[in-house]
Amino acid sequence: MTSSWSLEEKRAFVGGASLAPRRLLVTGGAGFIGSNFVHYWCSRYPGDRLVVLDALTYAGNRQNLALVDSRENFRFVEGNICDRQKIDILLQQEAIDTIVHFAAESHVDRSIIGPDAFIQTNVVGTFTLLEAFRQHWNGFLKDQTNSSDQIGSKQTGVFLHVSTDEVYGSLGPDDPPFTETTPYAPNSPYSASKAGSDHLARAYYHTYGLPTIITNCSNNYGSYHFPEKLIPLMCINILLGKPLPVYGDGQNIRDWLYVGDHCRALDAAIALGKPGETYNIGGNNEVKNIELVRLLCRLMDELAPNLPVRPCEQLIQFVKDRPGHDRRYAIDATKIKTELGWTPSVTVEEGLRQTVLWYLNNQDWWQPLLSEEYRAYYRQVYQV
């Protein structure tokens, strides 16, 4: 029984060496966190079958998976999570036992400009996947389930819904961090759509016994991050000598987590998490936006050889605030630490240094993303 295991035993178990191979469907695997997760999983569990389903929206990029494309155990399928028929075929054909669900519209600013796609993908898409997995689980996986004590065994099946801390709303300066029992209070169309999908995942466990697990994570950063989000946008604008737009007074606080640490936490949730449970994941790194941008500027001044503007802090510009801008997020990750043995391992200084170096060394990755569509989006959000 996992409940009697020590934390050391749990940590060792998450190595997975003794497990039968899993067969995973990773939705949104061509996006930022999804592709980092695919890299993590392929190197950690090379014997597992891994199938990515991704619609390749503006945020999805086949290049993000170039390092794993030729692996025998890897398959990429272009498709939409709202396409029930395609999902049914994939689940059956690939005998999937684990769904890791990343696919989403993920950017708050875009959800303010056009919420429709957020409802479609995040709510209807998640519903479609849950329904498909329910049918698959009833007809195939459930029969193979021996006992609920076999947590970590592929026979139990897992639907891991990767979600966000934004569902909890905004904290005041003296409020305690979000826990798993903090009431939901989403403030943007993005967070409302993620809250809706969380509720569906939860309901499918309570109503149908489907083994769903929800994780609510804070702000990630690292490689393959699309340059609409704060950190990659600032890195690229610094390299291009463009203004660094800081919303409002720059005092909003986010809790930053290196994406590799998020992947390790998801691994722990898949292997050891309890169906029907929610786990908060956070970096214990609360930073004000303006401080973060200044830190990035200092790192760029130190690491980038040919900056158009140096020191690059001169590029900072305070701009009109994001409507409904949440003031502060902070995560209490005690549950995942005590129950699953996970803690973050990368400090924000070290993670940002690695990230800055990645954007410096991978200009071939981000240059093509600055398309006409991207420029039009940029003009609309920043009114420039």
Output 31 or 211, the one with its CB closest to ligand NAD.
31
246 binds ligand DAU (CB under 6 A): yes
Enter the tokens of residue 310.
């140096």
Q: Which does 57 bind (CB under 5 to 8 A by kind): ligand NAD, ligand DAU, none?
A: ligand NAD
Size of the site for ligand NAD (CB under 6 A): 31
Q: Which x/- pattern, by CB under 6 A, does the window 199-228 give for ligand DAU?
A: -------------------xx---------
**Contact string (CB under 6 A) for ligand NAD, positions 182-201, x = contact:** ------------x-------
The residue number with the shortest CB distance to ligand DAU is: 164
Which residue is it, tokens 């941008």? 293
Phi, psi of 281 (to 5 degrees): -130, 125
Binding flag, residue 28, ligand NAD (CB under 6 A) = yes
Cβ closest to ligand DAU, residue 255 vs residue 339:
255
Closer residue to ligand NAD (CB): 59 or 263: 59
Q: By CB under 6 A, tell whether 81 contacts ligand NAD.
A: yes
CA torsion, ordered 80, 85, 86, 90, to nearest 10 deg: 130
Q: List Cβ<8 Å contacts ≥24 apart for 6-9.
A: 7/338, 7/341, 8/341
Q: Contact region for ligand NAD (CB under 6 A) — 50-58, 137-145, 290-298, 370-378?
A: 50-58
Q: Check if 221 is active-site.
A: no
* Rounded (5°) CA angle 205-206-212: 15
Residue 166 annotated as catalytic: yes
Backbone dihedral region of 152: left (phi > 0), alpha (psi from -120 to 50 degrees) or beta?
Answer: left
CA-to-CA distance for 262 and 264, rounded, in angstroms? 5
Which residue type, as a one-letter code, is found at position 107? H
Q: If you write DSSP's letter for every residue of 171-230 in order, what string do you get?
A: --TTSPPB-TTSPP---SHHHHHHHHHHHHHHHHHHHH---EEEEEE-EEESTT--TTSH
Q: Does 162 bind ligand NAD (CB under 6 A)?
A: yes
Indicate whether 35 belongs to the interface with ligand DAU (CB under 6 A): no
**C-alpha–C-alpha distance, residues 366 and 360, integer Å:** 10
Q: Could you tell me the smallest distance in angstroms from the CB atom of residue 2 to ligand NAD?
A: 25
**Of these, 111, 156, 182, 252, which contacts ligand DAU (CB under 6 A)?**
252
What residues contact residue 181 under an 8 Å CB cut-off, 6+ apart?
A: none
Residue type, 118: F
Among 33, 108, 200, 331, binds ligand NAD (CB under 6 A): 33
Q: Is 245 in the site for ligand DAU (CB under 6 A)?
A: yes
Based on the residue annotation, tell me whether 165 is a catalytic residue of this protein.
yes
Which of the residues are catalytic?
A: 165-166, 190
Q: Site residues (CB under 6 A) for ligand DAU?
A: 106-108, 164-166, 218-219, 229-230, 233, 245-247, 252, 254, 289, 322, 329
